[in-house]
Amino acid sequence: MTDKVKCLLVDDVEENLLALEALLAGEDREIYKATSGPQALELLLVHEFALALLDIRMPTMDGFELAELMRGTERSKHIPIIFITAQSPNEPLPMFRGYESGAVDVLFKPINTEILRQKAAVFFELHRQREELRQAVQSREDVLAIVSHDMRTPLSVVHTTTSMLLNPKYKLTPEQVREQHERIRRNVDLMNRMIGDLMDMVHLRSGKLSINPKPMVVNDVLREAITAHEAPARDKGLQLSYDAGNDVMRAEADRARLMQLFQNLLGNAVKFTKAGDSINVCSRTRGNHAQIEIADSGPGIAPDDLPHIFDPYYSASKKHQKTGTGLGLYIAKGIVDAHGGTIRCVSEPGVGTTFNITLPLTTH
């Protein structure tokens, strides 16, 4: 989903701000109002604006001074500025000073509402296009970084292992050959997961993560994912349990995507816990939704990290060696969002981490 574009209106007369807001309001826009230059500067520190409309005559700091401060700041210097003035269009000074201050236009009161609406729409669309281009460039750089850095390690392992298998001087036993074949398989699987994550990331950023919903039972998929992790959990000395209750959770959902979601969360739980820890999964029906809880008694997540764990490439466990792309939780949230559900995480360092997922169910 495309983020709403933001527009800044600055005028010391509240009635003027309300009129401009009514003129420019739309479902795809967020309008911010300021009655003074200092108040506008505070908003500019927090928000990325697609357009700023500034009244020229204001006490304390007029529109020209505000524009000059905006142009002198990296964060706001590229924001298009339209000045609004009650002076006559026959007076050249506001026009000259406006363009000197970096404005893209100067409008005189009474404002032609249709012209202002159309001008604003152009700048809003330009902002969207720039943002799409920025995201496309960022996606390309992310892909190049992962391909050139993260995939180099498994490729190196595959290359080294195959070279050893083909070299007769090593005289490997049949058991050693099987071990090396397994090593190659694990690293090929890892590269396949990386490629899949990259494709999902690109689709998420374009708002087009594909799902193929069909009638299914959610807790059957969850049970299958848990079964797949029983052996790794047992080998690591973990206790893995599932409390499914008596509910049959029927939904229109993408089975493969839900499996990807559950595998990701369970895989993280196994990866970041240690021998003696526990992983407890619970699923229940609450109204028209499935509620799924995946809780572990592992190291937990620091409070500063918790708000960012669903961001792409963010690693909340930097002390652990990184394997994969760092996109797992970002994709997990994308899968839940695509199904119309919610996912949240609560965690306490030294106590553990719990993921709570809700997914809509069919009513028949």
pLDDT, one tens digit per residue, over 87-104 is 655 555 555 566 666 678
Predicted pLDDT at 68: 87
Q: Give the whole-angstrom CA distance, residue 266 versus residue 190.
A: 16
**pLDDT recorded at residue 321:** 42
**Residue 353: CATH number of its domain:** 3.30.565.10
Three-state DSSP class for 61? coil
At residue 126 the predicted structure's pLDDT band, cuts being 50, 70 and 90, is very high
Q: How confident is the model at residue 157 (pLDDT cuts 50, 70, 90)?
A: confident
| Burial of residue 305, with CB atoms counted within 10 A of its CB: 0-12 exposed, 13-18 middle, 19 or more buried | middle
**Which domain, by its residues, includes 184?**
151-205
pLDDT in tens, 212-252: 899 999 999 999 999 989 988 999 999 999 998 888 899 99
Q: What is the mean pLDDT of residues 255-282?
A: 92
- Residues 218, 356, single domain; the answer is yes
Mean pLDDT for 266-287 is 93
Residue 188 lies in a domain: yes
DSSP string, 75-129: TTTTS-EEEEE-S-TT-HHHHHHHHHTT-SEEEESSP-HHHHHHHHHHHHHHHHH
How much is the pLDDT for 81?
Answer: 92
Instruction: Give the model confidence (pLDDT) of 220-231 as tens digits.
Output: 999 999 998 998
Q: Could you tell me if 346 and 233 lie in one domain?
A: yes
Backbone angles phi, psi at 285, to 5 degrees: -95, 130
Q: How many CA atoms lie within 13 A of 255 on its CB side?
A: 10
Same structural domain, 237 and 314 = yes
Quick one: 228 and 350 in the same domain?
A: yes
Dihedral of CA atoms 320, 324, 327, 332 in degrees, nearest 10, equals -90
Residue 122 phi, psi dihedral angles, 5° rounding: -65, -45
Token pair listed for 174: 């049949």
CATH number of the CATH domain containing 34: 3.40.50.2300
Q: Which two tokens stand for residue 19?
A: 């009129």
Distance CA 54, CA 37 (A): 9
- Measure CA of the first residue to CA of the last residue in the chain; give whole Å: 29
96 and 181 part of one domain: no
Residues 238 and 333 both lie in one domain:
yes
pLDDT at residue 358 is higher than 60: yes
- State the total domains in the chain: 3
Asked whether residue 108 is assigned to any structural domain, the reply reads yes
CA–CA separation, 197 and 260 (whole Å)? 11
What mean pLDDT is reported for the chain? 85
CB 282 within 8 A of CB 292: yes
Q: How many angstroms separate the CA atoms of 11 and 9, rounded? A: 7
